[in-house]
A and B are shown apart, each in its own frame.
Chain A
């Protein structure tokens, strides 16, 4: 066990866990974008930076393991300034299309923009845009909204076993794209929608059909499904509008198959867990 001090609060945690988990244990909030508990930390979003006493640079909480005697600050002025800076960088190219974005209200970027975003933008140049690419009839890709967290790449490679999406170009032209006209060819492909923290990858069939806050979210399963997927239905006016994985605290409980996600919009197909 390691004794660490987080924002003045002494806490005893298991040796070797990251600062992020140590902070979460005592209910301290550290925002994350690229971090997902399913994968090793990538550390590219830089939003989870915290100050560690004795280390001159801010450190990313998702990657640094705690050591005995560490003193960590997660909400001092310097950390908040860094978060605001990262939010500003993420938002300079992000379109202001929340009113028409399907991710709206369950978007990590939106939540954090409320918390740490600036009211006034300082970016006066033209926003970066990407050409539209067709990802088939299941997934809608809106690259302009992407924050380059790369969780979709990781999910496709590590959990679906398909290597078709990756980072292309470089610098601020970096695009998360597929190989030429390839689509994600996997019966689990729809899960990239759930793992995307913003509205860059959305459900094409759910597109513009209703707002997320209007949906009744009900856990359900389909007896015919060979994978026994644990899904959550989004129901509006007695109709299933969309099917997603069950997401608790921003993390999927398990992946669900494309058959469940895209092909069954009849309530009769499902057993609701009410």
Chain B
């Protein structure tokens, strides 16, 4: 069993978040910040950096869980084109608010991670794409970048080595879809955030048709730790396939919502009850979405089962995914139909309108769910929404279509009776409220 103090969770890789004043470069350097980046650039070969990150087993923390080191190694070595490293700080997945903590309280570990990542893939230009709503966070990051330039951490011959790296902040303007890496690249090019077809993958043809790597904030911010303590040091936490620690952001109807860093592989049940304090007074859990709104929801029984551990494999075993680590908790007062209606409204609103199944399907799903919730559904419409969801699932350019379909499929599968009750009684199940 993984060793974890459920009662007093302490941050490990991201401990800086809890230390006040770490947004200033002087404080960050006092704690040994940027030393790792300097050592890496001065003493390591880029390939060795990629190898070390590969060995650490770090997987993309944005949702897909792809091995970061492997992604970096896809950059063509002999390409004459400039290479780019982009940080995806477009955190807009409902239920996810972990990156915001890093951006607000520990921007320098992100910058240091980007320096190391850029050195590994051979990029001299980097961009941080931050969502438009994070204006305050953008200011913090911007100040941090400016300070870093003044300190010689960014710019020409950074950290007294012969490596040049320029980093810029780019602010989005309200589009969930720009969290998808190719849509993010399009947006960074000043266009509408329309995802691109793959292949070609961004590692070959990304920003400005050049090789590009897009990594999540949490992924990049974990890189300095890995290089400092080595792959083995990072692997001290977590499991074989899900190495290291992960930030989970917990929200919804639970006693202690917030951002927690946990080593992967710990028990989800104990985490919910001991670390997050369990359900509100007099209530009990009903359903839980463990990885941001885009992953299938699971029932209380599934979440509390033995095999549901907090890692990529554990969540897969109970039919859901780790995703971005945004835990949304529904208790027994929640009407599942209403909750699903809210989510499908979100996906209908955020669909970019490019490809057919998502453009037409998400809007259709919302309209039908809206009717069912308001007591105007037909009995055959439960199968209809599942069928629409199945028709969207897997047929779109980017994963937004899947993300819109999975909550519907899982909600109907696990709580079909509630939908039926809505249709026959034209109202919510007794005891549940329309939030």
Is the CB of A110 closer than 8 A to any CB of chain B?
no
From the candidates B192, B197, B350, B357, name the one contacting A43 in the complex (CB within 8 A): B197
Chain B residues, Cβ within 8 Å of A159: none
Q: List the one stretch of B41-49, B260-268, B358-366 in contact with chain A.
A: B358-366
What's the least CB distance linking B327 to chain A, in Å?
A: 27
Interface of A is mostly: loop
A148 and B395 in contact, given A63-B197, A125-B367, A171-B349 (Cβ under 8 angstroms): no
Chain A residues, Cβ within 8 Å of B351: 170-172
Q: Is the CB of A171 within 8 A of B352?
A: yes
A46 and B349 in contact, given A85-B357, A89-B361, A90-B356 (Cβ under 8 angstroms): no
B148-177 at interface with A (beta carbon < 8 Å): 175
Bound Cα distance from A136 to B54, whole angstroms: 59
How many of chain A's residues touch chain B, expressed as a range? 35 or more
Binary flags per residue of A45-71, CB closer than 8 Å to B gives 1, else 0: 111010000001110100110000000
Query: Closest B-chain residue to A126, C-beta based?
Result: B367
Is the CB of B375 closer than 8 A to any CB of chain A?
no
Bound Cα distance from A274 to B177, whole angstroms: 54
What's the least CB distance linking B379 to chain A, in Å?
A: 13
From the candidates A44, A123, A169, name the one contacting B397 in the complex (CB within 8 A): A44
Bound Cα distance from A64 to B397, whole angstroms: 13
Is the CB of B417 closer than 8 A to any CB of chain A?
no
What's the least CB distance linking A27 to chain B, in Å?
A: 26
Q: Is the CB of A46 within 8 A of B355?
A: yes
Query: Closest B-chain residue to A123, C-beta based?
Result: B364
* Residue among B192, B356, B371 facing the most chain A CB atoms (10 A cut-off): B356
Bound Cα distance from A172 to B351, whole angstroms: 8
Q: Is the CB of A88 within 8 A of B359?
A: no
Chain A residues, Cβ within 8 Å of B353: 148, 167, 169-174
From the candidates A49, A90, A171, A174, name the one contacting B348 in the complex (CB within 8 A): A171
Q: Is the CB of B384 within 8 A of A93?
A: no
Q: Is the CB of B359 within 8 A of A49?
A: no
Is the CB of B354 closer than 8 A to any CB of chain A?
yes
A89 and B367 in contact, given A44-B397, A169-B353 (Cβ under 8 angstroms): no
6 contacts between A and B (CB under 8 A): A43-B397, A46-B357, A49-B395, A90-B360, A148-B353, A171-B362
